[in-house]
Structure 1
Amino acid sequence: MNKLSLLGAALMLLAGNPAVAAMGPFEIYEQAIRNDPVYLGAIKERDAGLENRVIGRAGLLPKLGYNYNKGRNSSKATYLNERGNNQSDDRHYNSYGSSLTLQQPLLDYEAYAAYRKGVAQSLFADENFRGKSQELLVRVLDSYTKALFAQDQIDIAQARKKAFEQQFRQNEQMFRQGEGTRTDILEAESRYELATAEEIEARNEQDASLRELGALIGVPAIDIADLAPLDQHFQTFTLQPANYDTWHEMAVANNPNLASQRQALEVARYEVERNRAGHLPKVSAYATVRQNESESGNTYNQRYDTNTIGIEINVPLYAGGGVSASTRQARRAMEQAEYELDGKTRQTLIELRRQFSACLSGVSKLRAYQKALVSAEALVVSTRQSILGGERVNLDELNAEQQLFTTRRDLAQARYDYLMAWTKLHYYAGTLSEQDLARVDEAFGQGPGTR
């Protein structure tokens, strides 16, 4: 075969195997980093917040300023002459002045407090971005699993409809032959319609989830066939560390939302200090190089070159009570930040405990649902045989099939709940990373040709 034929064969192979293009959660995340407007906005928010450190530091550094003026003056000077009479002179002249001033704060507690506030604001921006970065991992997996679970519900609903439709026809035929009842027909029809309604609801949920994923990667929506399905035989993860106390310590130390709230408290604390500094004196050193010529009536036709170096002291005495009021206001805001930190800490630890318990119980739930599924499948088979033997009725078969489909749905839900609980546990502990999502990604589409 020539190269052209080989290329055509490869394209046909790819076209015949659409699963090759299936995307796992990690690939969705990689695209979301480049396209999600929430994440991209968080980057700009962080970059803007980091500038607060430089802005605050500027108040402690020297300031250099230059002033220049040149003008045309017209004035009338009146004075006493030798005879004691008033005499006036009209003066038309150019004036000129320039000065270069260097000033360095020596003692300025307000500037120092503003600097420390800027540092805290910069750290707040960094921690806030870290939190939103981890939140993106959770959002990707949440929308991804919701879309897949909706597909599972659609498949189950369609299987139920098929089973109930078949049962309906059998009951109708038996009724015509005088061996069935009208109640059996109505029961099968009712359950068929309920399955139809559940399928419609699942499709709506799936459409919303797929649109959420599309918004993350910058497209209107994606197709469910583009997503790699969950491997039905995936293994649960070993929980490390295994005890809750260690997770508790990790959350208190590493959770980015708690860390950003602590920095918000530092911002409020130094805002109190900045306002309190309105009562304190300021001392600064300065040096000035000044040139002026005919700058005023007293220096008419005179030129001065002046170099000055000195100390300036500014002592506030009274500001109408504004400084005290601003300090009280800032202190109340600081106390509010303390309560908010306490509330957020409690809520975070509650969620941490919930996800930790969900991870532990999730393993047992999956095992129980898997056994229940085997039992439910066996129950359907035995019920059908019992009906043939006259020991059971059609309603018993409908109930057995209903139990089977419910168990399938609950097992699918338990699988996705477990993966979300494991991910959220690391999120609330503040340790969620791309490596964790890559580990979860291994549970999806592990069959041949899915990557």
Structure 2
Amino acid sequence: MSKLSILAAALALLACQTAQAVGPFQIYEQALRNDPVFLGAIKERDAGLENRAIGRAGLLPKVGYSYNKGHNNSKVSYLDTVRGTITEKRNYDSYGSSLTLQQPLIDYEAYANYRKGVAQALFADENFRGKSQELLVRVLSYYTKALFAQDQIDIALAKKKAFEQQFQQNRHMFQQGEGTRTDILEAESRYELATAEEIEARDEQDAALRELAALTGEPNLDVRDLDPLQEDFQSFSLTPANYDTWHEMALSNNPVLASQRQRVEVARYEVERNRAGHLPKLSAYATMRQNESESGNTYNQRYDTNTIGIEVSVPLYAGGGVSASTRQASRSMEQAEYELDGKTRETLIELRRQFSACLSGVSKLRAYQKALTSAEALVVSTKQSILGANGSTSMH
């Protein structure tokens, strides 16, 4: 086979491997379909959204229908002015049916419960938005950990190779009477430390790959399946570069804070719902009834009755339970408000830390690039020095 054919085959193999490798966003797409934590979050959101309909139901009309049918066997005694006491035995069927429509007109408890349901639905939506972002963070975290661990493994292997060569060289020099046993032990110690670093890096990589496998549902995920990060990436400028703008964006858009604010709203309307236990309720109702022989007094009689009216319910005393429940709900609301303050502080502290890291990251990256260039030049210079020293030794 010609060299050109071999090169073409190698390039084809490389292209095939690159095509099969998956990047972080492909992993994220798989995680959206397979991560059990995220799938559970979807169901949690769907369940939470139903609170809106549950709360609204208390404001809508209620329609009910009832029906009963029975067989009666009774003995009736009555006084007749001519014949005296007369006793009759009656065997008859009876039935009754009722269709009722009721519409709340004034019911503050139902209104507060509806607003609480709306807040619970909004909380479920914001909480799900936060968990969606958490999934992306988890994917990127485990993805970069797996690749970083591979770099650490490669570094550890390079160290082991260098220290092994140093060990062999020091032992040879010791045998020639030009070295010390300390040099041998030092090289051996460094070799063992590099071995420990390799083991630790492999453990970290195994853990990261297992996490990615759990996210994607791919049990046999290998680091070679991951698309390596680009080495020629360009540093970016933080836009906007003003912290105050990011501060306002975090307060307005952060899903953790948004969900916590809805939690406060839920607690607030829970207070109102309990307080409504002191308030009257007014509702309108309409009823259609059909009864036949429903009682002894209506034997062999049928009634068709249509009724429309209003009903007023006024609570007078409930043993102090309403007041106690209201106080309890108020304390829970205050707790939610304090927790919102705590979450806000945590978010802003983390925002400041990440903002500073992004600003300083560009300078740090440039410094690392310069250090890498200097280190590469140092390696070249050191190799030339070693070659020169070996040449001088050979001449002697």
TM-score relative to the length of structure 1: 0.81
Identify which range, 217-226 or 194-203, moves more after superposition: 217-226
Report the equivalent of 2:337: 338
Report the equivalent of 2:268: 269
Deviations 1:178-230 (A, max 9, x none): 11111111111100000000000000000000111111111224100111111
Distance 2:83 2:173 in 1: 140
Name the SS for the 2:227 alignment partner: coil
Report the equivalent of 2:44: 45
Distance 2:16 2:55 in 1: 59
Report the equivalent of 2:3: none
Report the equivalent of 1:320: 319
Letter aligned with residue 266 of structure 1: E
Deviation at 1:85, TM superposition (A): 5.2
Work out whether residues 14 and 20 of structure 1, in 8 Å CA contact, stay in contact via their aligned partners in 2: no
Greater than 6 Å deviation, 4+ residue runs: 384-390
Work out whether residues 215 and 221 of structure 1, in 8 Å CA contact, stay in contact via their aligned partners in 2: no
Q: Is 1:258 aligned with 2:257?
A: yes
Deviation at 1:169, TM superposition (A): 0.5
Structure 1 residues 16 and 312, CA gap change in structure 2 (3 angstroms): closer
Identity of aligned residues (%): 81
Distance 1:212 1:56 in 2: 40
Distance 1:292 1:212 in 2: 69
Structure 1 residues 280 and 84, CA gap change in structure 2 (3 angstroms): farther
Letter aligned with residue 244 of structure 2: D
Letter aligned with residue 69 of structure 1: N
Deviations 1:13-38 (A, max 9, x none): 45884222111111111111111111
Report the equivalent of 2:354: 355
Report the equivalent of 2:244: 245
Letter aligned with residue 29 of structure 1: Y
Letter aligned with residue 310 of structure 1: G
Work out whether residues 19 and 225 of structure 1, in 8 Å CA contact, stay in contact via their aligned partners in 2: no
Name the SS for the 2:145 alignment partner: helix
Identify which range, 117-126 or 15-24, moves more after superposition: 15-24
Letter aligned with residue 162 of structure 1: K
Letter aligned with residue 286 of structure 1: Y
**How does 1:423-434 map onto structure 2 within 5 Å?**
none
Distance 2:84 2:265 in 1: 72
Report the equivalent of 1:101: 100
Letter aligned with residue 197 of structure 2: E
Deviations 1:145-203 (A, max 9, x none): 00011000000000000111011111111111111111111111100000000000000
Structure 1 residues 16 and 353, CA gap change in structure 2 (3 angstroms): closer
Letter aligned with residue 272 of structure 1: V
Letter aligned with residue 203 of structure 1: R
Distance 2:14 2:231 in 1: 26
Deviations 1:347-391 (A, max 9, x none): 11111111111111111111112222333344455556667899x
Distance 1:146 1:238 in 2: 24
Work out whether residues 50 and 125 of structure 1, in 8 Å CA contact, stay in contact via their aligned partners in 2: yes
Report the equivalent of 1:307: 306
- The higher radius of gyration belongs to 2
What is the RMSD of the two structures over their aligned residues, measured on CA atoms? 2.0
Name the SS for the 1:366 alignment partner: helix
Work out whether residues 52 and 118 of structure 1, in 8 Å CA contact, stay in contact via their aligned partners in 2: yes
Work out whether residues 59 and 115 of structure 1, in 8 Å CA contact, stay in contact via their aligned partners in 2: yes
Report the equivalent of 2:149: 150
Deviation at 1:76, TM superposition (A): 2.5
Distance 1:176 1:382 in 2: 29
Distance 2:202 2:124 in 1: 40
Identify which range, 107-116 or 371-380, moves more after superposition: 371-380
Deviation at 1:107, TM superposition (A): 0.4
Name the SS for the 2:66 alignment partner: strand
Name the SS for the 1:343 alignment partner: helix
Work out whether residues 154 and 199 of structure 1, in 8 Å CA contact, stay in contact via their aligned partners in 2: yes
Distance 1:362 1:15 in 2: 33
Structure 2 residues not aligned, in runs of 5+: 1-7, 390-396
Report the equivalent of 1:195: 194
Structure 1 residues 93 and 84, CA gap change in structure 2 (3 angstroms): same
Report the equivalent of 2:207: 208
Deviations 1:375-408 (A, max 9, x none): 3344455556667899xxxxxxxxxxxxxxxxxx
Work out whether residues 131 and 257 of structure 1, in 8 Å CA contact, stay in contact via their aligned partners in 2: yes
Work out whether residues 283 and 312 of structure 1, in 8 Å CA contact, stay in contact via their aligned partners in 2: yes
Report the equivalent of 2:19: 20
Q: Is 1:228 aligned with 2:227?
A: yes
Report the equivalent of 1:124: 123
TM-score relative to the length of structure 2: 0.92
Distance 1:30 1:96 in 2: 63
Distance 1:139 1:40 in 2: 15
Distance 1:221 1:83 in 2: 103
Name the SS for the 2:340 alignment partner: helix
